[in-house]
Structure formats: structure tokens, C-alpha cells
Amino acid sequence: MYQEFEGKTEKEAIDIAIEALGLERDEFDVEILETEKSGFLSLQKKVRIRVHLNDEIVAAGSDDPENDIEHGVVDFVRGLAEKMGYPAEVRVKYREPGKVGLRLDSPHSSILIGKKGKNLDAIQLLANVIAGRLDDHETRVIVDAENYRQRREESLIRLAQQVGDQVMRTRRSKLLEPMNPFERRLIHTTLNDVAGITTKSEGDGLYKQVRVIYRGSDE
């Protein structure tokens, strides 16, 4: 099994893969697919990698819950989806020490994901509260549906590159939509090493906005 990621450098693409998959570097193999320059004056380099996952990590045993913690969070998420009025089958997508990934399969997946993944984030937050009660906050739960989290990540990387191009051309800052901490980190990381650009988060609460700024701008 494999998944694909991209970044400005091979290291950044690998770091993004590690963050998204919740794995250690020695738990997967990397294949470089392409390296290209794009954007204004070809200042931005893009590296796409294919991550080959070890079967025992991605699908360790059955996709049914195997212990009290997994049973607890799976039952909770299944019951929550039913109470929302959008029943879903909840399966274990992957497991590793300190982390378990759940997959929601439902004809109502788009609603369970919600706009910009906010419903999925809320379900994941509540699942982690339950896991914390069962395991003293030792197990982190990642909830996904229709591979949304990888698709969202790739979309945000493209957005960051496009906005970076725009800010370089216009020399004017741009404020992005509210994002959760992981999404904001992707934007910061993608633009971190682009000469002439800096980023900062603005606002309060969980969902803040990232401002992409042309260095030397008054904004």
C-alpha cells in the first residue's frame, strides 16, 4: 500500500508524510516521483514522493477493534454518528503504539466530514476525550472518511504555493481561511523557506487564520 505527498524539498515531503501518517521514518520506504520548479520566476520547487507503507503498521491484524480502548472509541463514534442521524460503519484503519486510526464508511460521509472537515474534527476531538478516559490520555485517535485528511493536506499545499506566488507577484499580504492547528502548520511549513515571504497566525481559538506576508510590505 502507498500514499503520495509533496513538499518544497524531499525532507519536507517526508516530514509531511510522517505527520500525516503518524509513523516513524523507518516504518516506510520513499520513492521520489518528480521534482519540478513552478510559480513566479520558478522560485518554488516541488518534490512529490510516494510512501510505501509496511502492511503490519497500516493494517495490523483485523480492522475490527482488538482491545478495550479500540472497542470503546469505535462504539462511541458509531453511536455518535447514529445520534447525528448519519449511521456509519466504523473500522480500525491502522494501529501503532500510542495511536489508532479509525475509518468511517457511510453513504453520508460528506456530511460526517463537513465543510473543511469541521464535523470530522469535532468527532475526532470527542473520540480523543473518550480515549483519554479509557487510557489516561496515552492513546491518540485519528478519525478519517473517504481519505479526506490526505486529500485536504494535498489541497492545502497547493493553496500555499498558489498564494505564495500571488504574494510574490503583488507584494501584498493575503489572509487565508480559518484553519485548525495541523492545517496552519502545513501552510507555515510549505512557505517557511520561500525567500521574500513570511507567515503568521491571527485570531483566537482553535480555528485561526494564516496571513502570508511579503517581507518589506507595510501590511
- Scan for cell 478519517, then name that residue: 144
pLDDT of residue 200: 93
Instruction: Measure CA of the first residue to CA of the last residue in the chain; give whole Å.
Output: 46
Helix axes 181-191, 148-170, angle to 10 degrees: 50
Strand order in the sheet with 140-145: 89-96, 99-105, 140-145
Q: Which three cell numbers stand for residue 116?
A: 473543511
Residue 178 pLDDT more than 60?
A: yes
Could you check whether 2-56+149-214 and 59-146 share the same CATH topology? no
pTM higher than the cut 0.85: no
> Which CATH code for domain 59-146?
3.30.300.20
> Which CATH code for domain 2-56+149-214?
3.30.1370.50
- pLDDT interval class at 219 (50, 70, 90): very low
Helices within 51-180 (DSSP H only): 55-58, 68-84, 109-113, 118-135, 148-170
Q: Of 24-28, 138-142, 160-164, which range is least confident?
A: 24-28
Q: What average pLDDT does this structure show over 58-66?
A: 64
Q: How far apart are CA 71 and CA 92, in angstroms?
A: 10
Residue 158 pLDDT more than 60?
A: yes
pLDDT of residue 35: 63
Digit-coded pLDDT (tens) for 76-86: 999 999 999 99
Domain ranges in the chain are 2-56+149-214, 59-146
